[in-house]
Structure 1
């Protein structure tokens, strides 16, 4: 007895499995049209014909009843065997009939529709205990009667897909589908999502999307963001916010990102550690060139310690699952605040003081230490679980003492330099004196010869012996005294 070839059998089984996985969704195509239905495209012209041959001298009358019109009501149209409709609108859809007198010749149904756009589905989940929402935008308003469906099934599992009907929201201009998640569902299992949009003019199927419940987490943005100034702290701002109502912090926490910039800056710009020094240098010329972003914050507050003095700041916060699953939420609404300004200080400085340090992921943030989690309010909002460990900013009195000491040191240094400069100048003069300087030399004055006597009043003394002191006596009488 011959055995079936093993490799061929495995190939057939694999082909059947691939075909089954490819058919995870449902056929997507236009709804069937009856023989008396005419399809018209939006903005196009169309001609309706009553009959090929009409008796002579017969008056053909057209009548239309729109889909929104009440039963038994109709609108009288022009006469003739053909009816020309220009620039079709969705409101032109309805039942058109032609008759001669009371005799009905033909009845047609006109549908004005456009083929649907191809859906590009995006699925997300606001928290671990919420349903999955899948949506896709629409460039144009879909035709009346457009139907959108979504199917979900587990990957590599032989089971039927669950079907979900999607709704169109005209204000948001998008389709939204809600998928129920049973409690206890494994959030790491892969799911296959298929979509189809169809109407009378055609059908369009979206590309299958493979997701997991943990990878599509996207919280709502934080709410109640406030920015407050701290008294006697010209470079600090206290930012506070709350958890979104869709996230319950009693079971899972969120981590937050905070970004802030001076109000003249047109947009936010993430600053890396390697660019911070350059940014701060440029900021001396224009504060609007520099904006910072703080990451890895699990508290519902943040103490900004390097704000610009006397400058209005714009602050935003966004959130993500504490374990890093899913995506960041959208940024919260902007909140503004200005640091405290001394009313007696009319010349506030604008020098930046940065108390931030590089983080592991390359962003520039503050160092935080964990502490116990606590409830903030009766609604169960998350308390602060981490606190800043940055060094506190010195008080203005410390700056005054430091400035005075620095000024005194500068004056002392200048005095020492002046004193030593005089000494150096004096020593230089001594080293350059000519020979004989400092001795009192006798210079003849060319005095007139005496007129009274040629004999000098005093004779030259005889040389004395060594070691003896020579004393002379001056005759006061000869001096005229």
Structure 2
């Protein structure tokens, strides 16, 4: 019967397993001060430095130098002078990089030059790395922001390896972006590693020391998608729409809209206000702002996210400005009535409180008084003349139609009420003899005898008769 292993043997097995796991997870690259390795040359700004290809001179061969990387962010290679020794005069911070000497296209030696200040250099900040993808079909990017600008000669490295394997880690150089003030590293994913876990390690160092970030364990399926900001953002005014703005933009070049879509968020504010109004769930690459302030410049920004809300929002696009359409006739007519509608106090101020947006442009100019003065003679809008003229023509046409209608009615009524000649006619006779004249010589001539067929308005029986 076999005896069970003793406690000492179990402890040894546990320590061996722990050692193997630690070796499998850690990339195993030191993060110390830069400029101390054998292939690194440390230079000071303003001094001369000589890079040597071989300690012993090479006979009957032509040695050419080439700069492979420039500065902390790398750059395109360029050819330099020929010879076993390369003299660099009056070093600058931009001269930092990797230099290689070649013979017939074959690399003989590679040297890294670091141009740093002689003193007062501080160790770099500890990286706090976050990884993402700009598109579902793009490589993984890992980045970390910096609070202060790194000292010249600072370099950042990233190592990637499979988890729980003994293979060596792949080393990659990180690039520093001065405007965004952050380091960005592109992760080269090993072949057939879509579903495997990867260990990502970072290190930043300079002449004063080095700082290593915490190892991150990622899988390609779990890396969030963070698109680039939208590009070509423009703001246009719409004619005869004083409260509308049309915002247009385009998909970022790193995102292919044929396979994946984005949703957008737009925010805008009138100047000089600081509070933004946000519009969500925008699926089209354009938006109409319908509540813009008349005659006020607006600041607009756009950002994007994966169409189903997976991943993170992109950064906001750069600010663009636009002003709604303004009718010059309306501008003159709207400014005039303020001087007559609002009474002025003794101190020259209005007796009412006006909206603050009316003074935003004046506040932005920094002037103490009004910039635009009301015109003493208001100019009427041409639309008012059109409305008044149309109303007058409509009234005249209606009056003419009524008169024509009633004229036809009168003619019809006259024809129906007429009687045959001689039927029902009465002869009007005076009620009594005429009054005697007041004097012998009458002032008026005596009335002529009545016409039997005539109409005399003095005969009242004609009006009161029942016929």
How does the TM-score come out when normalised to structure 1?
0.46
TM-score by length of 2: 0.47
